[in-house]
Amino acid sequence: MSIVIFSGIVAFITSFIGLLPQIVKSLKTKSTEDLSMMMLVNYLVCSLAWIIYGSSTNSFFVTSSNVVGLIVSFLLILLKRRYDARCN
């Protein structure tokens, strides 16, 4: 396995695993008060920019790992809007 493929797999896995504990905690506690909306929006915009870059360079791993990041950050934004009274 080449270093490029290995690093792509690591990026893909860590994009998903990175925020997964926060999603689980938010669903269990029904609380997102400690989450920064600015951080979540920044993560979403960053993932979107990487998707555009990865698509334009035909990089499967850049694109796919950031699609996962985009979905996860979007889900956390939805949870933030649902559970945090300050966002409503």
One-letter amino acid of 21: P
- Residue bearing the bigger pLDDT, 61 or 54: 54
* The domain over range 3-87 is classified in CATH as 1.20.1280.290: yes
- Count of CA atoms in the C-beta half-sphere (13 A) of 59: 20
pLDDT of residue 70: 94
Q: Check whether 1 has a pLDDT greater than 70.
A: yes
pLDDT of residue 12: 80
pLDDT of residue 29: 93
Q: Where are the domains of the chain?
A: 3-87
